[in-house]
Every structure is written in structure tokens, then in C-alpha cells.
Amino acid sequence: MTILVIAEHTNSALAPATLNTVAAAQAIGGDIHVLVAGQGVGAAAEAAAKIAGVAKVLVADNAAFAHQLPENVAPLVVELGKAYSHILAAATSNGKNILPRVAAQLDVDQISEIVSVESPDTFKRPIYAGNAIATVQSSAAVKVITVRATGFDAVAAEGGSAAIENISAGGDAGKSAFVGEELAKSDRPELTAAKIVVSGGRGMQNGDNFKHLYTLADKLGAAVGASRAAVDAGFVPNDMQVGQTGKIVAPQLYIAVGISGAIQHLAGMKDSKVIVAINKDEEAPIFQVADYGLVADLFEAVPELEKLV
């Protein structure tokens, strides 16, 4: 068995989710090859070659892959993928965008967001916003799978010495074009990889009040998340949303401030090791999953918390 892992990267650097995806590949067992498709990906490819357990790195450096357009990347993965037993990608917005297109072109079902590997053909994945765990078995010749990063511990980023092989393939399919992007800038750790996450909900009342959470987060070295209510109300940008339709996080400590705890929010954070809830409504559902609950006005509790930590 040989497994192809599609690297998650920003062209210049490898994204941490790649390490969790390689961990899932190791759990399946077999030789692991990593595909780095993009433009100017030299540094990302070298980083991929150093990942512990990776046997080979395939580099497809082509202007057509610069923005990971699925119309251009999927045919490359399909062409390469036929020789592999498994094709894995992280369940990031890129992985979710590209892999189903690959699976359909290979005429196989895809398995989304696995959280554990039972055997090389059997996997567990959450359904119904994480309220049920399905065990699924694939009989496909090539198993196409996205991996929920929080389900697997990252492998070591150093220690490997994989061979790097350049492949010249692919081009512009001429169906789509990149127009532009607006990326949120932040010095805080990335939300999905942070050890501590502080999240705010509707209880924050406005975007300005999020500054209390930023101050607290900076002191804890934490990332800041939000509930859908806070995003929809325009308090913070949508890339901060934690939940079924936002990001899935599983930090050591999750502090939910002014968040009621709807099913859709819990789907994104209930695998956190320790959950703290600060809410003035003692009936809020968030207290049913919180390890430590504090019934208090967040505008008094958060500044006090910031002083004490």
C-alpha cells in the first residue's frame, strides 16, 4: 500500500494540518508520499521532506496551481492518484474543495473528516453535527479521504529525509480564474492549532467589546474564536467562527464567553480537553459540557480573569 497525502500549504510554507494528515496516513500504514502542488513551493516541499515518516515528496510547481483552483489541481491528483491505495487531504477549505472532485473523477465515494482509523478500509467520522459517530467501510480501489486534523496528533515536523521528485504535469483547465483574496491578519496563533482558544458570542454585544477577549488571549497566548451569532452580527470576521459550519477546534483549554452553546457551536469545540464557560444565564446549555462554569457578567469577569492569569 502506498498513500498519497495532499499537502496543505500557502505556497511559501507548509500548514500544520499536513502533519496531522500524515499521522492519519501512518495509522493506515504503508509508504507515504506527499504531493506539494502550487507555485514557488520550494520551501514547502523541503519542509514536507523533513516530516517524520514521509518516503517521497512529489512537487508540482506550476502557475496553474498557485491558488489551488480545483479545476486545475484535481486532474493532477486524479492522474497521480490512480497508482495509490489511499488519497488523503486535511479537511481544510482546500481539502474539502478539491478532494470530492477527485473522488468523482475516479468514480469512488469520498469519506469526509475521519477522526480515527480502525483498519486500512474502515474509518470513524462524526455525523449530525457530531451527535453521532459513524463507522464506515470502503471497498473502493482508491480510498479518497479527508482528515479532521484535531482527530490525530501531529507527527514530528523534523527527522525525515524524503527524496524530492519534481513532476511536470498539469496546466490551466481554462474554466476558472483567481480574481483576488482578502486574508484576515493576526499575530495570534492559528485558531485550529492553538493550545488555548478564547471565544465570544452574542453576549459580547458588539465588535468593540471583543478587545477584552483579545487582551485576555494575548496574555494566555491564545487564539480568539467566535460563535455564529457573533459573526452574523458583524462583531468579527467569519474565519473566526467555531462550529459545524466553521472551524473545528480541540485545544487544551476552550473558554466560551457569552456563548449559549447551540448544537452547531458544540460540534466545533466539544472535543476540547477542558471547557470553561462564562455566562450570566445559568440555564445556558454550554454549562452542560463545561468542566468549569462561572455564572457572572462577562464584562466584570473577563477583565478580572485577565488580571489574575
Among candidate residues 70, 96, 87, 71, the one with its CA nearest the CA of residue 245: 96
Nearer to another protein, 50 or 188 (CB): 188
Nearer to another protein, 62 or 110 (CB): 110
Nearer to another protein, 177 or 208 (CB): 177
Nearer to another protein, 165 or 291 (CB): 291
Distance of CA 296 to CAs 257, 259, 305, Å? 10, 13, 12
To the nearest 10°, the Cα dihedral for 149, 137, 71, 18?
20
Nearer to another protein, 174 or 208 (CB): 174
Quick one: cell of 164?
524530492
Q: Helix/strand/coil (H, E, C) string of 10-70?
A: CCCCECCHHHHHHHHHHHHCCEEEEEEEECCCHHHHHHHHCCCCCCEEEEEECHHHCCCCH
CA 38 to CA 67: how far, in whole Å?
7
Q: Residue 124 in contact with residue 133, Cβ under 8 Å?
A: yes
CB of 298 to another protein, least distance (A): 11
CB of 273 to another protein, least distance (A): 7
CB of 235 to another protein, least distance (A): 13
CA 47 to CA 36: how far, in whole Å?
10
Beta bridge partners of 6: 35, 89
Residue with cell 500548514: 15
Q: Residue 259 in contact with residue 203, Cβ under 8 Å?
A: yes
CB of 141 to another protein, least distance (A): 8
Nearer to another protein, 154 or 295 (CB): 295
CB of 34 to another protein, least distance (A): 19
CB of 248 to another protein, least distance (A): 11
